[in-house]
Structure 1
Amino acid sequence: MNQLTSEMPHRKLENKRSLFVVTGASRGIGREIVLQCAARAAESSAFLITARNETALMEVKAEIKNKNKNARVWIVVCDMADLNDEAKKGFDTVMREITEQNSYESLFLFHNAGYLGDVSKKALKLNDVENWSEFLNANFVNMILLNNLILKWITNLTCPHRYIINMSSILAVQGFAAREAFFRGLAVEEPSLRVLNYAPGPVLTDMYKIVQEKSYDPTIRNAYTVNENGHSAEKSDVHVAQLTPEQTVTKLIRILNDNQYESGAHVDYFDDEEQSQGTLSISCLAHTCFSRSSLSMAPLILKVPPSVFSGAVNQVLRLGLRHRANCTIVSSSVRFASTTSGDDERAGKGAGIPLPTDPLDHLTHKEKKRLFRVARVSKRNRTYDNDKIDNLSAMAEYNLSEKDLEDLPQVPRPAKTYTAQAGNRPLYSLTDVVQRAVKKHGSAEAIASHRAPIVDMRNNLSNDEKNRLRMRVEATATAGADRVVGIAFALNTCDMIMKFGAAYLTGSKSLFAEAIHSTMDTCNQLILLLGIRYSAKNPDPQFPYGYGNMRYVTSLISGCGILGFGCGLSMYHGISGLLNPTALEPLTYAYYALFMSLCFQGTSAITAYREVNRKAKLAGISMMNYVKTSADPSLNVVLLEDTAAVSGGGIALCAISLSSLLNSPIPDSVGSIMIGALLGTVAMFIIRTNAAHLVGRSLPDRITNDIVARLNNDPCIRSVHDVKTTSMGVEHSRFKAEIDFDGRMITRNYLKEKADIGMMLREAQSLENTAQLEEFMEEHGEKIIDRVGDEIDRIESEITKKHKDIRHVDLEAL
C-alpha cells in the first residue's frame, strides 16, 4: 500500500460522530458500505444515502436503524445520470437540515454509483448520443457536481476531517481514468481533503452478472463464469477470484481506519495481499500483478488462453514497461506464478514472449540520445491545464510535425500561464492532438508504443536536469543575425587575403591599412559568431536570466579590437609613411584589389542593411534609432564595419590615385591616417552603445510610459512607484515596479468570483470561540492573498502580451 508521507492524524471510524454520504447505496457494495459504517460509527452519526430505488433505500434505512438505533438517516432518490435542478435542490435542502442540526468530526463521502453502459456492443458500434451522455453524466459529470455540492456545505471549518472515497472500478479492470484524474488533482489542490481511489476487485454484484450474461466477447463471458469447482469456464485451470461485497468493503474500512495511504492514491483490493501463487480472472490479471510491488520486482510467467493471447500481450507490455517487470507471456491457461520457486514447470509449454527488463535495450546509442532530447522537450513544466498541450510537446510526445498541427484549432492560453519558459507557443486541445495522432499513426496502440519510452525516460530525468528544465527560457532569437555575420566572415576572409597580397606587391600604406582593417573585421566576425552561439544557451542555476548579454560582450570586444588594432595600426603606418616616405611600386594590383574589395564589402553591407531594416520595421522604429539603441549588437557591428570598409575602400582608392597622379607617397599615407580615424570613430560608437547595454540601459520612454499608464488605469491598483526598466539582452528586457493595490477592490473581486457569501455567513454564525474565528480568518485571508497573486499574474500577462521583448516582470506589492 502507498504510504502516507504527511502527518495527518488517524481518525478511526469507530465511535466517531461522522456524516456518511453514500451514492448507489441501495444494493451491492454501496449497501455494504452503509451497513458496516453504521455498525462502527457513533450513535449520533448521520447518513445521507442516495440511489434510484426508493423502496430499496427505505429497506437500507431500516437496516441502519437496526445496527445504530440513534443514527439519523436522510434519503434522496436520485438517478446520477440525471442530476437535474430539482435533484440539486433536494440535496441542498437535506444538507442544510443536516448541517443546521449538528456538527461532525468527520465526513466520509463514498462515490459508489456507477453506470456500466451497453456491454453487448464494441465501442465503435456505440453511436447513440443519449447513451453516451447518460454514461458520462452518471460516471463523471454529475459525480463531480454532487461532490462539489456536498463539500460546499461541509467545509473544513465545520468538519475538520473530510474523506472522499472514489470506488474506482466495479469490475477491477482499470480505474475510471477521468474520475481518478479528477480526484488526484483534487487531492493536490485541496490538501485538507483525504482522497482515496479504491478498486474493489471482481465483486459478485449485478454488474458482474451483466458482464457474464451480455458481454459481446464470449471469452470475457466465460472468464466471469465459474463452474462447480470454482474454475473459469474458459477451459483453464484458473480459480476465478470472485469477491463478495462484504469482503471488499471490510478491506476498504480497514484501509480507512489505518489511514496510511497517500491522499489521491490508487489502492487495489489485492494490494499487499499474499497472492504470489494465487489466481485471478483475465480482466484483472495484468493490472493486479503489476500494481503489487512484491511481484513487480520478481520474474513472472503469465499463461493466457489463445483467444485472448494478443490482448494480454498488449496489456502486459504496457504495464510491464511501466513497472520494469521481468515477465514471459505464454499462450496456455490463465495463471501466474513466481518463477523463483520452480514455477517454470507449472507454466507448461507454449510460445513465450520475453519482455526486456529495459525497454530501451533495442535502441542504438544515437537513437537513445535522440529519445533523451525528445523526453527533455516533453518534460517542460506546464503551467496550464492538463487538457491542453503546446506545439513542442505535441510534436515530441505524439510524433507529429508542424504540418500536422497547422489546421488544428488553437485554444486560448489562460491568463496566468504566460511564462518565459512557455513564451507564446500555440496551445491545442489534448483531445484534438490525440485524435490527429491516431489518424496519422493508425491506432492508439501505435501512439502508446511511441510514448512509452519517452514517458519512462522523462520520469527518470535527474534532479539537476529537472532543475534546468524548470528554469529553461526560450533562447535569444538568433535568426538573421548569424546568417549575416556568417556571410560577412566569408567575404572578409577573401578580402583580407587579397589586400595583403596587393599591399605586399605594391608597398601601399593605404592598402596595408585596408588589409589590417579586413583582418580585424574577419576576427571580429568570428568573435560575433561565437557570441551569437553562446547567447543562445539556456539559463542554468548559475545564470538564471540566460546568456543573452554575451552578444553585447563580444560586440564590445570587437569594438576594442577595431580601436586598438585597426585604428592604431592604420594611423601608425600613415604617420610612418609621412615621416619616412618611400616610392610606390606599380599600382595595378592595388586597383584590382580595391575593386574586388568594394564588391565583397558592398555585398556584405547590403545583406546587413536589409536585415537591420527588416528588424527595425518589426520593432516599429526607424533604422537609425535601431542602430543607435544597439537593439541587435551583432547586426549593428557588421553593418557599421561593412559601411566603414566601403568608405575605407573609397578613401584608399582616392589616395592611391592621387599618389599615382602626383607621383608622391604623401596622399597614400594621408589616406591611411584617414582610414584609421574612420575606424576609430566606428569603434568608439560600438564601444559606447554596447557598454550602455551591459551597464543596464533603460527601455525607451514610450514603452515605459505605456506600461505605467496601463497600470494606473487598472481598477485594482491605487498607484505605481519605483519603476525600473532594463534591457538584459537582445529582445530580452525586464520591468520592475512597486504597486499599491486597492485592497477593497481585490476583496470585492474575491467575494464576487470565489466566495459564497451565504456560506460564509453561516460559517461565521457557527463560530463558538476565538480559535475557530482565527481559523476562519486565516482561511479567507489566505485566499485573499492568493487573489493578490492572481491579479499580479494577470497584470504580468497583459504586459508581456503587449510588449513581447519584456521577458521578466517583477511587481512588488507595497
Structure 2
Amino acid sequence: MSAEGGTKAIIAALLANVGIAITKFIAFALTGSSSMLAESIHSVADSGNQGLLLLGGKRAKREATPQHPFGYGRERYIYAFIVSIVLFSVGGLFALYEAYHKYEHPEAITKYHWVPIGVLLIAITLESFSFRTAIKESNQLRGNQSWVKFIRRAKAPELPVVLLEDFGALIGLLFALFGVSMTLVTENGRWDALGTAMIGILLVTIAVVLAIETKSLLLGEGAESHDLAAIERAVTEGPEVERIIHMKTLYLGPEELMVAAKVAVMACDTAEEVARGINAVEARIRAAVPIARVIYLEPDIYSAAAERAGTGSAAPTAAPPTQDAADETAERPGS
C-alpha cells in the first residue's frame, strides 16, 4: 500500500480536525451543550490520533539494527493500535460519561441558540472534504474489493484508520446535530444527552473494530492468496526447483514481506548449482512480488514417504540395515 497516499489522507484529516475542534470548543463555551463538548473532545482525539499515525510512519522508516534485524516496519501497526485505544477511552468513554452526567442534570441551551447549529454545519462541510480525500486515496489501492474487505485486508493501517475516523466523525456530527436541534425545539436538555450517548456508542464501536483489525496485523499476517500464487509460480516455473515442500510468509511491515520456504532440488546437483538456482529463484520472487524483500530458501531432497510420515523433514528416510549389519549387531556382547 502506498505510504504517500496514507500520509496525504492523514494530513488532510489532521488539518480538518484541528479547525473543527477550535470551532466546537467555542460553541461549547457559548452554549454549554454536552453534544458540542463530546464532539470537541472527539475532534481533539482524532487530531492526536493523526499525529500518532504520522509519528508511527516516521519511526517505521528507521534502519534495521542488530537488536531489531528485521527493521521497524511494525511500528505503524503499534501506533494504529494506540489510536484505537485513544479513540475508545478519550473519545468514546468520555462521551458516554458526559451523556450520563447531562441526562442526570439536563440543561437546556438558553443562549446563542443557533451557534452550535452553524458550527456543526461548518464541521460537516470540513469533515466531508477530509473523508473525500481518504476515499480518493483508498480507491487507488482498493481495486474491486468492497469497503469492508478493504478495511479488513489492508496491510497498511493508515488509510483504514482515517476512513473509519472520518466516517465516524461525520455520523457523530449528525448525532450531535440531532441532539442540539431537539434540545432547541423542546428546551429539554435530555435530547442533548441522548445525542452525546449516541456519539459515545459510535466511537466505542469504531475503536473496537480498529483494535480487532490492528491486533491481527500485530500478531502477524501472511501474504494474500494472489501474492502466494505469484510466489509459488516464481519458485517452480524454472528448472532449478522440482517443487515447494512447504512455505510460510509473514508481513514484517505494511510494505515488507518475508518468504521462507523449503524447496526440493535435484539430488544430483552440486553445491554450486544449488546456490545459483536459489539465487535465480529469489530474483524471480522479487520480480513477481516486489514487497517480498526478505527471502529464505532451504534446499532439500523431496521424499514422498517422509511427507506422508509428517516427520518435518523431506530428506530420504534412512535405508534399512543390510543383513551383514544385522548379523554384526547380533554377535555383539550383550545384544
TM-score interval w.r.t. the shorter chain? 0.7 to 0.9
* Aligned-pair Cα RMSD in Å: 1.9
Q: Is the 8 A contact 2:252 2:258 kept in 1?
A: yes
* Contact 1:491/1:601, CA 8 A, preserved across alignment: yes
Given the alignment, which residue of 115, 119, 123 partners 1:593?
119
Q: Is the 8 A contact 1:652 1:668 kept in 2?
A: yes
Instruction: State the alpha-carbon separation in 2 of the partners of residues 691 and 697 from structure 1.
Output: 10
Match of 1:611 in 2: 137
CA offsets per residue over residues 714-758 of structure 1, 9 Å max, x none?
4433332332111121221111111121223xx3xxxxxxxxxxx
Alpha-carbon offset, residue 707 of structure 1 = 2.5
Do the aligned partners of 2:96 and 2:201 also contact (CA within 8 Å) in 1?
yes
Which residue number corresponds to residue 721 of structure 1?
245
Counterpart of 2:55 (choices 530, 538, 547) is 530
TM-score, normalising length from structure 1? 0.36
Alignment of 1:7-156 (within 5 A): none
Where does residue 582 of structure 1 map in the other structure? 107
| Aligned residue number for residue 738 of structure 1 | 262
| Equivalent of 2:278 in 792, 798, 805 | 792
TM (normalized to structure 2)? 0.84
1:634 paired with 2:142, answer: no
Counterpart check, 1:685 vs 2:171: no
Question: Following the alignment from structure 2 to structure 1, what is the Cα–Cα distance between the partners of residues 234 and 134?
Answer: 36
Q: Deviations over 1:364-414 (max 9, x none)?
A: xxxxxxxxxxxxxxxxxxxxxxxxxxxxxxxxxxxxxxxxxxxxxxxxxxx
The reply on whether 1:553 has 2:78 as its aligned counterpart is yes
Separation of aligned partners in 1, 2:231 and 2:147 = 24
Question: Which shifted more, 602-611 or 540-549?
Answer: 540-549
Pick from 533, 538, 544 the counterpart of residue 69 of structure 2.
Answer: 544
Q: Deviations over 1:202-243 (max 9, x none)?
A: xxxxxxxxxxxxxxxxxxxxxxxxxxxxxxxxxxxxxxxxxx
CA drift at 1:551:
1.1
Q: Matches of residues 223-372 of structure 1 in structure 2 within 5 Å?
A: none
Q: Match of 2:45?
A: 520
- The 5-angstrom pairing of residues 399-798 of structure 1 reads 478-586=3-111, 587-617=113-143, 621-744=145-268, 747=269, 784-798=270-284
Give 1:809 shift.
1.6
Distance across 1 between alignment mates of 2:182 and 2:261: 61
Distance 2:149 2:287 in 1: 23
Matched, 1:812 2:294: no
Amino acid at match of 2:285: I
Structure 1 distance, partners of 2:232, 2:292, is 14
Counterpart residue number, 1:417: none
Matched length? 299
| Contact 2:250–2:257 (8 Å) recurs in 1 | yes
| Structure number, greater radius of gyration | 1
CA distance in 2, matches of 1:717, 1:607: 46
Instruction: Write the distance in 2 (CA, Å) between the matches of 1:713 and 1:538.
Output: 34
Q: Residues 566-604 of structure 1, C-alpha deviation per residue, up to 9 Å, x if partnerless?
A: 010001111112222222233311011101111111111
Q: Is the 8 A contact 2:62 2:72 kept in 1?
A: yes
What amino acid sits opposite 2:43 in the alignment?
S
Contact (CA 8 Å) 1:503, 1:511: kept in 2 or not?
Answer: yes
Task: Letter of the 1:511 partner, please give it.
Answer: M
Q: Which has the higher helix share?
A: 2
> What SS does the aligned partner of 1:562 have?
helix
Kindly indicate whether the alpha-carbon contact (under 8 Å) linking 1:693 and 1:728 is maintained by their aligned counterparts in 2: no
Structure 2 distance, partners of 1:532, 1:710, is 31
Percent sequence identity is: 27
- Displacement of 1:709 after TM fit? 4.7
Q: Which amino acid in 2 is paired with 1:509?
A: S
* TM-aligned CA deviation for residue 634 of structure 1: 1.5
1:445-470 Cα shifts (integer Å, max 9, x gaps): xxxxxxxxxxxxxxxxxxxxxxxxxx
What is the SS of the residue equivalent to 1:484? helix
Q: Secondary structure at the match of 1:541?
A: coil
Amino acid at match of 2:162: V
One-letter code aligned to 2:222: S
Local SS of the residue matching 2:242: strand
Once residues 110 and 154 of structure 2 are traced to their aligned partners in structure 1, the CA distance between those partners, rounded to angstroms, is 43
Shift of residue 713 of structure 1?
4.9
Q: Which amino acid aligns with 2:271?
A: I
CA distance in 2, matches of 1:681, 1:571: 12
Residues 659 and 666 of structure 1 are in contact (CA less than 8 Å); yes or no, is this contact kept in structure 2?
yes
SS of equivalent to 1:480:
helix
Q: Is the partner of 2:3 in helix, strand or coil?
A: coil
> 2-side partners of 1:557 and 1:649: how far apart?
24
Distance in 1 (CA, whole Å) between partners of 2:155 and 2:136 is 15
Please give the per-residue CA displacement for 1:129-151, whole angstroms capped at 9, x wherever unaligned. xxxxxxxxxxxxxxxxxxxxxxx
2-structure distance, mates of 1:706, 1:480: 25
Shift of 1:677: 1.0
Assess if the C-alpha contact under 8 Å between 1:505 and 1:585 holds in 2. no
Q: Is the Cα contact below 8 Å between 1:640 and 1:682 reproduced in 2?
A: yes
Distance 1:684 1:577 in 2: 25
Distance (Å, rounded) in 2 between the aligned partners of 1:585 and 1:795: 74
DSSP 3-state at the match of 1:667: helix
Cα offset, 1:541, TM superposition: 3.0
